[in-house]
Amino acid sequence: MNYRTLFYLFFLASAFSGCGSLGFQAAYSQADTLALLRIQSFFDLNSSQRSVVRSRLKDIHGWHRSTEMPVYALFLREVDRNSRDRLTEGEVTTAWGKVQSFYNRLWSRLIVAGSPILATLSEEQINHLEGKLQDSTRDLEKELSLPPAERLKKRQERARKSVAEWLGPVDAQQGKELDRIVAGFPDNGQLYLRYSRERKAQFVQLLRDRRPPAEIQRTLLNWTVHREAHYPSYYRGINERWVRDFARAALEFDRTITAEQRQHLTTKLQDYIAFCESQSPGRAALLSLL
């Protein structure tokens, strides 16, 4: 877990984290409440702060429901069309770019709304946050302390589970191909651990220095929405390499997908599309004409 979790709202990410469509729908309907509980656990907000955060999360949830969910529906329709036959590199990179734009728009809203609250945290609350961040770092350290072969096996198991969630059962040959693809990804765990430690320490220091809300907002936007330009030198380029590797992996595995598995994917995507459109029917109808 990294500093981005501090304001995480589930939203689209819930659909891609292994929960089924019904689980996603239930989580999304309570996203503002679930986010408030998560934020409370990190910041130990007082009653006044909690009231403000609750109101702002409710507003953001409403904006997301009416404005973003119809756009997600259109995006998922595009994914559905493209996945009915062989994918192209352009389709994969375009889809990745759109997901990043969804992420950036949501983070911009969250940071603008949250920065004034962050500027009001007491020393006790900052200490509480620091402890929670240290806990998350220890979890990551524990995972990275495993032998490389064991870490790779866990990554392969997660990949198989995720693919089966979207495509249905994978056969033995597909499993071997997926394991090979995952093994080809570089293990950047130690670099990420270093980056995560540094950002968490910088975040806590930013709050301890009592910086004004505008500076907190600018810093957090740089770390999230404009992250590529503000990565430290040792971490710069990792995201780009990961995207290239992901596109390559998607194209390689796509060659193994059966007609039945493509139909399984279409059925799941249609469930999510229907849910996204149900959040703002008028908006979805309008966008479909564009």
Give the pLDDT confidence score for residue 34 in this predicted structure: 87
Give the pLDDT confidence score for residue 284 in this predicted structure: 45
In the chain, the amino acid numbered 82 is N
- Write the pLDDT tens digit of every residue in 81-126: 988 888 888 888 888 889 889 999 999 999 999 999 999 999 999 9
Most confident region among 41-45, 90-94, 231-235 by mean pLDDT: 41-45
Residue identified by tokens 């969630």 is 165
74, 287 Cβ separation under 8 angstroms:
yes
Rounded Cα distance between 215 and 223, Å, is 12
The pTM of this model reads: 0.84
Of residues 71 and 289, more confidently modeled: 71
Give the pLDDT confidence score for residue 282 in this predicted structure: 59
Question: Which segment of 149-153, 181-185, 259-263 scores lowest on mean pLDDT?
Answer: 181-185
Of residues 258 and 2, more confidently modeled: 258
Q: Which residues contact 67 (CB under 8 A, 6 or more apart)?
A: 280, 283
pLDDT band at 61 (very low <50, low <70, confident <90, very high): very high
Rounded Cα distance between 193 and 199, Å, is 10
Average pLDDT over residues 22-26: 70
pLDDT band at 283 (very low <50, low <70, confident <90, very high): low
Average pLDDT over residues 167-174: 94
Give the pLDDT confidence score for residue 281 in this predicted structure: 59
In the chain, the amino acid numbered 260 is E
Q: Which residues contact 2 (CB under 8 A, 6 or more apart)?
A: 136, 196, 199, 200
Residue identified by tokens 């950002």 is 199
- Write the pLDDT tens digit of every residue in 202-221: 999 999 999 999 999 999 99
Mean pLDDT of the chain: 86
Q: Decide if pLDDT at 239 tops 80.
A: no
Average pLDDT over residues 251-272: 92
Rounded Cα distance between 290 and 58, Å, is 29
